[in-house]
Chains A and B, each alone.
Chain A
């Protein structure tokens, strides 16, 4: 391959593509409306704060203190006692699995006695966290409720217990969804999903459109190198990706109060590479597909596993090993780790370096495949 690439030719293709992109009003609008729409849809789903969740209570002793805890739970509004659990002799596991209750509270026998001795007795709250949006608030509230109930009880003769924080060992068991995804997790993840879908599709269409409209013959007759065509075609769409990123990040922080603890420049590096990787993939698809319709189908064929196996939909560590292997191949998987890491955990560039490297590797492989498959003739 020769390397006397011409910036004049690349910018020629860039400008042509940019003008065409701007004139294609419907696609252009879609590129900007999709992120907003997805954010709103997902955002509202996340933001609902369900109350009165059915709760099974297993009281193995009845004392003023245990009663106080239960009534505190009721007063918070998050929990509602599911009657008859003990009578029917159903275990918490059965009830949770059948979806009859969202929570099960177990207060073991001897709880009060050990509490008064300062032995830090255990309280067990089992949660159905398969829908984290539904359970996370209640779970977060639980410790507060217990503490408040105890403070209320620790008066008079028991006031010596006030001084001790963590009088009780509150044990929360999140079933089915060990990572306990919250909206903090989903909104940044949404950025990756939106970028994947729109970037791959738009470039996949960009090349097949030339074929379908018959302009390919002209493009091929002009002395442009495949790399020049690829770069010139990819760049305009990366601008769209940047705009989408700003929209999503703005909404994440403005509307959903997602914290941003890391450095913007680390995230910017991740976003830039991620967009380019997806555009390169889209370009590869466009060298395989013969029509825009086929390009679209290939995009969705890729999009589905991206959503399911990247850790966006299901916690990555909860997946079977083969699925994790597949997931590691997808750029979205690595991007999610970067964006969540940087925004939520304050990850540094060094922390996300392996993820960046994985995305670069994906991009390089796609670039090579695209160049190998690029049609230089009409055959």
Chain B
């Protein structure tokens, strides 16, 4: 089983809390050695799905395998081979940085722990602070400690829940270098994020809304799938124009983009016609390539509409 090409292979995964359905019908097939980005608005069910994958929540529906082990009955086997980084820092505040790493290492049954921990602390640049309590770390440093801890046991699968939230740009770059390194060693990564630039660095993107998987694929796939078109408008009095545009049914999204207005919609002829009708003297319409963000906003609006029609 474990020689399957998929690190994660689940179908119809779903979770209810009481009578509230939080995740439903999630199918995921994640090939080994890839990095997948997990995106979706707040409360869409990303954390819940990740928890089900590593055995922290019992799925209400669905079945499947992680690293060849059954997600319903073999969660211990999965945990032995998976590093899970929680969204909220969940290491022990009253243990020192070093003690936290040692604890995780012991529970994973690692060998020659002191020197291993030394190496990690050195790499993290935390060697001189190793005897401080974890509580004394800043938010970004806590994230970096957590990442170091979950990768320590060289897991085959990494599940990272917003690993770079609150992390500065330099540390984010370091993080992505690290991920690149790990995947080239054969590790598979599923990470949730709200950053578009991070989504674009992933091999594939999975987009979740209201607990449903709305889109999956590469950045280009998703943009193509949503059929979104975008224009930039330059000129004066853009504020008035933005207000008018927001009321138009053809317009999915209007946002400021530097000194220009960024407008998107799925019906290209209607959108262009509307823009030409509303633009005044001195305002220029420029063709612009659609961005992932436009696609997501369109997806969210689509999902919202579906939801309303459904109810």
Is A20 touching B94 in the complex (CB atoms < 8 A)?
yes
Residues of the B chain whose Cβ atoms lie less than 8 Å from the Cβ of A11: 106
Is A15 touching B106 in the complex (CB atoms < 8 A)?
yes
Is B57 touching A223 in the complex (CB atoms < 8 A)?
no
Once bound together, how far apart are the Cα atoms of A226 and B93, in whole Å? Answer: 22
Residues of the A chain whose Cβ atoms lie less than 8 Å from the Cβ of B82: 221
For chain A residues 101-132, which have a beta carbon within 8 Å of chain B? none
Q: How far is the CB of A12 from chain B (nearest CB, A)?
A: 3
Once bound together, how far apart are the Cα atoms of A332 and B22, in whole Å? Answer: 47
Chain A residue, CB-CB nearest to B100: A16
Q: How far is the CB of A221 from chain B (nearest CB, A)?
A: 4
Chain A residue, CB-CB nearest to B78: A223
Q: Count of chain B residues with Cβ under 8 Å from any Cβ of A? A: 30
Q: How far is the CB of B188 from chain A (nearest CB, A)?
A: 17
Residues of the B chain whose Cβ atoms lie less than 8 Å from the Cβ of A9: 106-107, 109
Q: Answer whether A221 and B95 are a contact pair too, CB < 8 Å, given A15-B106, A214-B88.
A: no
Is B107 touching A224 in the complex (CB atoms < 8 A)?
yes
Q: Answer whether A223 and B80 are a contact pair too, CB < 8 Å, given A16-B103, A19-B99, A20-B95.
A: yes
Please encode chain B, from 95 to 123, with 1 for each CB lying within 8 Å of some chain A CB and 0 for all others: 10001001111111100000000000000
Once bound together, how far apart are the Cα atoms of A216 and B91, in whole Å? Answer: 9
Chain B residue, CB-CB nearest to A220: B56
For this complex, 14 residue pairs linking A to B, each with C-beta atoms less than 8 Å apart, are A9-B107, A16-B92, A16-B95, A19-B99, A213-B93, A214-B90, A216-B90, A221-B54, A221-B56, A223-B79, A224-B107, A225-B76, A376-B75, A378-B57
Once bound together, how far apart are the Cα atoms of A217 and B91, in whole Å? Answer: 9
Please encode chain A, from 1 to 25, with 1 for each CB lying within 8 Å of some chain B CB and 0 for all others: 0000010110111011001100110
Nearest first, the 8 A-B pairs at minimum CB distance are A12-B106, A218-B90, A223-B79, A222-B107, A221-B84, A223-B80, A16-B103, A217-B90
Q: How far is the CB of B81 from chain A (nearest CB, A)?
A: 9
Q: Answer whether A23 and B57 are a contact pair too, CB < 8 Å, given A218-B86, A221-B79, A223-B76.
A: no
Q: Is B55 an interface residue (CB 8 A)?
A: yes
Is B99 touching A16 in the complex (CB atoms < 8 A)?
yes
Residues of the A chain whose Cβ atoms lie less than 8 Å from the Cβ of B55: 376-377
Q: Is B58 an interface residue (CB 8 A)?
A: yes
Q: Is A48 an interface residue (CB 8 A)?
A: no
Q: Is B172 an interface residue (CB 8 A)?
A: no
Residues of the A chain whose Cβ atoms lie less than 8 Å from the Cβ of B91: 215, 218
Chain A residue, CB-CB nearest to B81: A223
Q: Is A379 an interface residue (CB 8 A)?
A: yes
Residues of the B chain whose Cβ atoms lie less than 8 Å from the Cβ of A220: 56
Once bound together, how far apart are the Cα atoms of A23 and B107, in whole Å? Answer: 21
**Residues of B bordering A, CB below 8 Å:** 51, 54-58, 75-76, 79-80, 82, 84, 86, 88-95, 99, 102-109
Q: How far is the CB of A371 from chain B (nearest CB, A)?
A: 14
Once bound together, how far apart are the Cα atoms of A8 and B107, in whole Å? Answer: 7
Q: How far is the CB of A90 from chain B (nearest CB, A)?
A: 66
Q: How far is the CB of B104 from chain A (nearest CB, A)?
A: 7
Instruction: Give the secondary structure class of A's interface.
Output: helix
Is B57 touching A19 in the complex (CB atoms < 8 A)?
no
Once bound together, how far apart are the Cα atoms of A16 and B103, in whole Å? Answer: 7
Once bound together, how far apart are the Cα atoms of A217 and B56, in whole Å? Answer: 7
Is B58 touching A8 in the complex (CB atoms < 8 A)?
no
Q: How far is the CB of B99 from chain A (nearest CB, A)?
A: 6
Is B57 touching A379 in the complex (CB atoms < 8 A)?
yes
Please encode chain A, from 136 to 178, with 1 for each CB lying within 8 Å of some chain B CB and 0 for all others: 0000000000000000000000000000000000000000000
Once bound together, how far apart are the Cα atoms of A379 and B106, in whole Å? Answer: 26
Chain A residue, CB-CB nearest to B56: A378
Residues of the A chain whose Cβ atoms lie less than 8 Å from the Cβ of B104: 222
Please encode chain A, from 353 to 379, with 1 for each CB lying within 8 Å of some chain B CB and 0 for all others: 000000000000000000000001111
Residues of the A chain whose Cβ atoms lie less than 8 Å from the Cβ of B84: 221
Q: Pick the contact of B107: A24, A223, A376, A378 (CB < 8 A).
A: A223
Residues of the A chain whose Cβ atoms lie less than 8 Å from the Cβ of B95: 16, 19-20
Is A377 touching B57 in the complex (CB atoms < 8 A)?
yes
Once bound together, how far apart are the Cα atoms of A13 and B107, in whole Å? Answer: 8
Is A377 touching B90 in the complex (CB atoms < 8 A)?
no
Once bound together, how far apart are the Cα atoms of A214 and B91, in whole Å? Answer: 8
Once bound together, how far apart are the Cα atoms of A217 and B92, in whole Å? Answer: 11
Is A223 touching B99 in the complex (CB atoms < 8 A)?
no
Q: How far is the CB of A223 from chain B (nearest CB, A)?
A: 4
Once bound together, how far apart are the Cα atoms of A223 and B67, in whole Å? Answer: 15
Q: How far is the CB of B133 from chain A (nearest CB, A)?
A: 8
Q: How far is the CB of A222 from chain B (nearest CB, A)?
A: 4
Residues of the B chain whose Cβ atoms lie less than 8 Å from the Cβ of A222: 79, 104, 107-108
Q: Answer whether A6 and B109 are a contact pair too, CB < 8 Å, given A19-B99, A215-B91, A223-B80.
A: yes
Once bound together, how far apart are the Cα atoms of A217 and B150, in whole Å? Answer: 13
Residues of the A chain whose Cβ atoms lie less than 8 Å from the Cβ of B51: 378
Once bound together, how far apart are the Cα atoms of A120 and B93, in whole Å? Answer: 77
Once bound together, how far apart are the Cα atoms of A218 and B82, in whole Å? Answer: 12
Residues of the A chain whose Cβ atoms lie less than 8 Å from the Cβ of B92: 16, 20, 213, 215
- Tell me which of B55, B57, B103, B104 has the highest count of chain A C-beta atoms within 10 A of its own C-beta: B103
- Tell me which of A12, A20, A213, A218 has the highest count of chain B C-beta atoms within 10 A of its own C-beta: A218
Once bound together, how far apart are the Cα atoms of A71 and B108, in whole Å? Answer: 81
Q: Answer whether A24 and B103 are a contact pair too, CB < 8 Å, given A9-B109, A221-B54.
A: no
